[in-house]
Amino acid sequence: MPSVNRPSVLLIEDSPSNAMVYRSYLQDDYEVKVANTGRDAQDYLDQASFDVVITDVRLPDMSGLAILDKVQVEKPTLPVIVITAHGSVDMVVDAMQRGASDFITKPFDKARLSVTLNNILKKHHLEEVVQEFEKVYRREFFHSMIGASLPMQNVYRIVESAAGSSASVFITGESGTGKELCSEALHAESIRSDKPFIALNCAAIPRELIESEIFGHVKGAFTGASASREGAALRASGGTLFLDEIGEMPLDLQSKLLRLIQSGTFQPVGSSKEVKVDIRFICATNRDPLKEVREGRFREDLYYRLHVIPIHMPALRERGSDILLIARALLRQYSSDEGKSFQGFSREVEEFFTHYSWPGNVRELSNVVRNVVVLNDGTSVGMSMLPTIAATATPIASDTPIDRSAREESSTGWTAADGLSVDRPPRQGQAQSSEIIPLWLEEKRIIESAIDICGGNVPRAAAFLEISASTIYRKKLQWEKAELSSDSI
């Protein structure tokens, strides 16, 4: 086998005869350097790089475990195999805890050593591949977007792939998921990045003015048009036009937009002159576009003209650890903006954030964090600083007990907006129970009811009750002990 392709091994063995045997085991497949002392081994490690180190525990000038410690500090990714004739369970545990990749007891044959080396080198190679993959494909930040979850990695890759094209992009996703940030990233990655990026929210413009906003108008085109005005289409020429909430666009205007996309020309309102533009179109909606087409609210031909490259922005509840990643970034930003000293969130807040459904997505999370920073002081955000979100928390799924109970307000006496509190007092004229039960039993009933309503999620129930999850766990333990004691009587 050519030496250039062979892994290099540093063999540290004080016995010349053993070193000769082990070298004979390895020399056909590996480049082998032999060190008989710890000092020689350290010199080799300082002067050259190796793919794996094999070291005896007992060396004339130091322990092989000291070599292992040195490698762990200076070259933590370098695999080390420890060998010894005096192995014990304690020694094996010690070596593995120090970072050894494997442990071989003498005497051993060539097959044992070969299998161990092959397994370690394969594992090391896979770890390097994974690390390289994460460097290239697993990013926590992409332009203004934050997220390391797989759904967001997929968004980043589509943006990068589509950026070099002028094909239209159709972004879908719930409100607050960052569709405009995605459109900005598409523009920034494209060859049009030095040209204008014009964003227009079709839902925020009155229906009678939206045509003028897109195509512009000439003086006197309609009442109040005292001067000519350039529309978004002309301002975006050479660059990108982002039409947010395009599902709100009237059908008659959709036909004019279709003509602009097909021909690259349009007529300003009140003008007979054709204007030629070069635009890359990006549009977004929080509705199901195909459903809108089927129900006649969106032109099918326009849909297929725009829906060339689809991108779906995942809801925040689908992004796992991204919730805390975004929350921490927002906390740093807003703390800096407001001159506050917040450094992080308490464990209870992080648990609550992770399990909360975030119906308003990133926009809602941003509002919550900013509210906390503006209205509070401290270094850590605690549950008591989240009164609004704790009182109006929404369930993760629409058919959870909380949601059903909210719809049954008249029979249960509370709503999700009231938080998980005790039932409201009976209205005048309703019968009241004369039975008085111990306070701890009433507390137990309330807490267990909260846990049931939250589907067994203790941190979420604690957030509604405005107590810590540890308090619930402690009380549950006390109740179990009390029940055991009563059973034994």
406-419 pLDDT tens trace: 333 333 333 333 33
If pLDDT is split at 50, 70 and 90, which confidence band does 389 have? low
CA distances from 239 to 213, 303, 352 (A): 17, 21, 42
- Is the pLDDT score of 424 beyond 70? no
- CB atoms under 10 Å from CB of 204, counted, come to 11
Predicted confidence band of residue 4 (pLDDT cuts 50, 70, 90): low
pLDDT computed for residue 398 by the predictor: 38
- pLDDT computed for residue 134 by the predictor: 60
Cα–Cα distances in angstroms (integers) from residue 161 to residues 136, 142, 171, in the given order: 14, 14, 15
Let me know: does 239 contact 187? Beta carbons within 8 Å.
Answer: yes
CA atoms of 469 and 463, how far apart (whole Å): 8
Q: Where is pLDDT greater, at 219 or 280?
A: 280
pLDDT for the residue 89 = 75
| Pair of tokens at residue 368 | 């919550």
Q: Which pLDDT belongs to residue 405?
A: 35
SS3 for 314-345 is CCHHHCCCHHHHHHHHHHHHHHHHHCCCCCEE
Whole-prediction pTM: 0.57
Distance CA 326, CA 487 (A): 49
Predicted confidence (pLDDT) per residue in 50-66, tens digit: 999 999 988 999 988 99
Cβ neighbors of 65 (< 8 A, separation 6 or more) are 57, 82, 94, 95, 98
Average pLDDT, rounded, for the chain: 84
Chain Cα centroid distance, residue 386: 22
pLDDT of 402 > 60? The answer is no
pLDDT at 306: 95
Query: In this structure, how many other beta carbons lie within 10 angstroms of the beta carbon of residue 454?
Result: 24
Q: What pLDDT is attached to residue 129?
A: 77
- The size of the chain, in residues, is 489
2 three-class SS: coil
Tokens of 182: 């995605």
pLDDT in tens, 128-139: 777 666 655 668
Assign 74 to helix, strand or coil: helix
- What span, in angstroms and rounded, lies between the C-alpha atoms of 125 and 123? 5
Classify residue 109 as exposed, middle or buried by CB count within 10 Å of its CB (0-12, 13-18, 19+): exposed
Of 443 and 40, the structure prediction assigns the larger pLDDT to 40
Read off the pLDDT of each residue in 10-16 and give the average, rounded to a whole number.
Answer: 91
CA distance 237 to 214: 12
Contact 11, 26 (CB under 8 A): yes
pLDDT for residue 272: 87
